Amino acid sequence: MTGERTQVPLAGPANRQGRIATDNAFGRDTRYRGTQGTAIVGFFGKTGAMTGASEQVLKRPGTPYRKVYVHPTHHAGYYPGAEGMTLKLLFDPQTGKLLGAQGVGGAGVDKRIDVLAVAIQTGMTVFALEEMELCYAPQYGSAKDPVNMLGFVPAGLLRGDHPQVDWESVAASADKPLLLDVRTPTEYAAGHIPGAVNVPVDELRARLMDVPKGRPVVAYCQVGQRGYLATRILMQ
């Protein structure tokens, strides 16, 4: 992904290199195109998988990137047996080109990372993920597949429709923003970011006086949807 030399001890790339070595031994000029680093592991009934560059890999040469997270289920939530997953996407902040992805969760993680691996190989962008057409039936996926969601969120960011900020940026900011927890009081009591103020999103319009003016505000929730809605209310 970055053009750097590195060791990636995976069976797939090793098998391809073995075939290439044999081709060359018999006079065929076949060359190795490089390793993308697509890998998967199972642990305690869960799955972790990745493809492309990680943050650590991108930081070494100073490659600019942005990241987003989504927390979908592997098929339609109303259909019995839906299992949750967390997917992370790294992309170019200017063009939206896909740079890497990671996923962890239950069923369906392997399917999504495989799709993203092909998308990265073909040079797709987050805008292409929005339009990607994948198999759908309630027991297999959702009308808006997790892969589509990994397009909607960063595409909204790049278009300016969905302002986002990384936790690292908040922590490093000299002008500390107000952290606005827009979950329910029960969720807030069960655990929250220290210093955060709790104003549930359903009460936000009636309690705007509780949000100080003239100070940056970062709204957050459990997975992002309510934080997004709160941000739109505050922007209006």
pLDDT in tens, 164-183: 888 888 777 777 888 999 99
Q: Identify the three-state secondary structure at position 146.
A: helix
What pLDDT, on a 0 to 100 scale, did the predictor assign at position 130?
94
CA distance 215 to 193: 18
Closest CA to 4 of 62, 88, 49: 62
Q: What is the pLDDT of residue 16?
A: 87
Residue 152: pLDDT band by 50, 70, 90 thresholds? Answer: very high
Given a cut of 90, whether residue 64 has pLDDT beyond it is: yes
User: Which tokens hold the place of 48?
Assistant: 């972790």
Q: Do residues 216 and 209 touch, judged by C-beta distance below 8 A? A: no
Percent of the chain at pLDDT exceeding 70? 100
| Distances 32 to 10, 26, 51 between C-alpha atoms, Å | 14, 16, 18
Provide the sign of the torsion angle of the four alpha carbons 167, 92, 142, 105, taken in this order. Answer: negative
Cβ proximity of 4 and 60 under 8 Å: yes
CATH 3.40.720.10 at 37-159, yes or no: no
The 3-state DSSP class for residue 51 equals strand
Report the candidate in 161, 152, 104, 109 with the shortest Cα–Cα distance to residue 128: 152
Nearest to 230 by CA among 176, 178, 173, 174: 178
Taking the model in full, what pTM does it have? 0.83
| CA–CA separation, 200 and 185 (whole Å) | 7
Q: What is the residue-averaged pLDDT of the chain? A: 89
Q: What pLDDT does residue 163 have?
A: 82
CATH code matching the domain that covers 167-235, chosen among 3.40.630.30, 3.40.250.10, 3.40.640.10, 3.50.50.100: 3.40.250.10
Q: What pLDDT, on a 0 to 100 scale, did the predictor assign at position 67?
A: 93
Q: Where in the chain is the domain with CATH 3.40.250.10?
A: 167-235
Residue 224 confidence (pLDDT): 80
For residue 36, what pLDDT is reported? 85
What sign has the CA pseudo-torsion 130, 132, 133, 136? Answer: negative
Q: Which pLDDT belongs to residue 187? A: 92
More confident residue, 60 or 88: 88
What's the mean pLDDT in 120-146? Answer: 92
Looking at residue 73, what is its pLDDT? Answer: 87
pLDDT at res. 11:
82
Q: Is 103 exposed, middle or buried (0-12, 13-18, 19+ CB in 10 A)?
A: buried
Element (H, E) at 171: helix 167-172
Over residues 70-89, the pLDDT tens digits come to 998 899 888 898 899 999 99
CATH 3.50.50.60 intervals, the chain? 37-159
pLDDT over 90 for what percent of the chain? 48
